[in-house]
């Protein structure tokens, strides 16, 4: 069995996460038992939610245990199997974590899923045709439920979730306004994904300034908003929301370091009779087949070409993850392991 490099959570962050919170180890991969498969990971997914799990705090998921492999999504190839369900060469997606190999029980429901790489590159099953894409789909379809011609907005617009949201919304006939950090990202959102407008939040020092820019980009107001960030960005969007509008609350990256993220205008929820709903996409597995079908068609047809930031080698995962939290990635952040 091969040697396996792994990254563990060595200690919990005190405020901002640092590379010293992680530890790289090398060990033997255990021999397969009946019903198990050995997966060689090709790509590892890095996602903002991982920062919250590094804290020992009450949340929707259990904290990442200390001294264990950092948990996360992976795609790869079965290299050995002792299960009739899988054979060597099968391409699979799972939760293999921050390591080069994983031993997986094929009998565990949802542990592995075969994927077809004929038209969709394998890496996209960690992004647009994976958990981030389904997250975008759920927020758009099940919470916002905007009608063709209405305006929707999304923060972190060129990230894995935000870009999928924009592509899906445009395909459904909506007007889409993005908010992103940097002119390059906004140009990509408009010219390549098809956003109608994108605002660089870095050009605005406060919510009032950003709100004025949103008024120009969305003169008829905003009927639905997909929130990834919180803080000043959310404050600005709240002032432009229409009556009976809806907010799908997916992430609050402004507060991932444990600091409070106050809302400046909560009264607008009442004034405009808004619906604000937080959600975790893993609690809605019933929608995954429909969502993945629509997303797969968008990507496989070339109508949506997701962008990726790819770090090389398992050793690069901590710094790539810290960069993701600061918005240094452009599109889905991955670590290439082969």
The answer to whether residue 41 scores a pLDDT higher than 80 is yes
Rounded Cα distance, 277 and 274, in Å: 10
Structure tokens at 57: 């705090």
Mean pLDDT, the chain, integer: 95
The answer to whether residue 58 scores a pLDDT higher than 80 is no
Q: Do 92 and 73 touch, CB atoms closer than 8 A?
A: no
The predicted-structure confidence for 298-327, as pLDDT tens digits, reads as follows: 999 999 999 999 999 999 999 999 999 998
Whether this prediction's pTM lies above 0.85 is answered by yes
The predicted-structure confidence for 147-194, as pLDDT tens digits, reads as follows: 999 999 999 999 999 999 999 999 999 999 999 999 999 999 999 999
Query: What does the pLDDT read at residue 59?
Result: 74
The answer to whether residue 7 scores a pLDDT higher than 80 is yes
Nearest to 139 by CA among 181, 174, 185: 174
Q: Which residues 6+ apart lie within 8 Å of 87 measured at CB?
A: 78, 81
Q: Which residues 6+ apart lie within 8 Å of 59 measured at CB?
A: 52, 53
- Is 131-282 a CATH 3.30.420.40 domain? no
Per domain, the residue ranges of the chain are: 3-127+306-336, 131-282
The predicted-structure confidence for 187-225, as pLDDT tens digits, reads as follows: 999 999 999 999 999 999 999 999 999 999 999 999 999
The answer to whether residue 243 scores a pLDDT higher than 80 is yes
Query: What does the pLDDT read at residue 259?
Result: 78
Query: What does the pLDDT read at residue 33?
Result: 95
Cα dihedral: 146, 330, 253, 14 (round 10) = 170
The answer to whether residue 271 scores a pLDDT higher than 90 is yes
Quick one: CATH architecture of 3-127+306-336? Alpha-Beta Complex (3.90)
Rounded Cα distance, 154 and 171, in Å: 15
Query: What does the pLDDT read at residue 62?
Result: 83
The predicted-structure confidence for 277-290, as pLDDT tens digits, reads as follows: 999 999 999 999 99
Mean pLDDT in residue range 17-39 = 96
Q: Which residue intervals of the chain are DSSP H helices?
A: 49-54, 131-138, 160-171, 183-188, 207-217, 231-238, 267-271, 288-300, 317-325
Name the more confident of 240 and 256. Answer: 240
């Amino acid at each position: 069995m091969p040697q396996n490099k792994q990254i563990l959570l060595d200690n919990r962050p005190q405020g901002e996460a640092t590379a010293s919170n992680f530890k790289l180890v090398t060990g033997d991969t255990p021999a397969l038992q009946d019903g198990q498969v050995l997966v060689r990971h090709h790509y590892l997914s890095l996602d903002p939610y991982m920062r919250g799990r590094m804290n020992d705090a009450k949340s929707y998921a259990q904290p990442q245990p200390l001294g264990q492999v950092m948990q996360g999504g992976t795609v790869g190839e079965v290299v050995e199997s002792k299960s009739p369900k899988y054979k060597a060469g099968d391409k699979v997606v799972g939760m293999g974590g921050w390591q080069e190999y994983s031993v997986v029980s094929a009998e565990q429901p949802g542990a592995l899923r075969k994927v077809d790489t004929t038209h969709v590159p394998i890496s996209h099953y960690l992004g647009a045709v994976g958990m981030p894409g389904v997250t975008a789909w759920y927020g758009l379809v099940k919470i916002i439920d905007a009608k063709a011609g209405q305006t929707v907005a999304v923060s972190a617009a060129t990230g894995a979730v935000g870009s999928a949201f924009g592509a899906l919304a445009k395909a459904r006939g909506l007007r889409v306004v993005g908010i992103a950090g940097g002119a390059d990202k906004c140009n990509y959102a408009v010219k390549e994904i098809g956003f109608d407008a994108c605002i660089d939040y870095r050009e605005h020092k406060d919510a009032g300034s950003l709100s004025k820019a949103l008024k120009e980009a969305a003169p008829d107001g905003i009927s639905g908003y997909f929130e990834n960030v919180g803080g000043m960005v959310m404050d600005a969007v709240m002032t432009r929301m229409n009556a009976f509008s809806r907010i799908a609350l997916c992430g609050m990256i402004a507060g991932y370091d444990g600091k409070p993220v106050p809302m400046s205008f909560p009264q607008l929820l009442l004034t405009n009779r808004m619906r604000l709903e937080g959600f975790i996409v893993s609690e809605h597995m019933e929608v995954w087949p429909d969502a993945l079908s629509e997303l797969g068609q968008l990507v496989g047809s070339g109508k949506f070409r997701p962008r990726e930031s790819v770090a090389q080698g398992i050793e690069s995962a901590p710094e790539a993850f810290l960069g993701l939290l600061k918005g240094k990635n452009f599109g889905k952040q991955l670590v290439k392991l082969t």
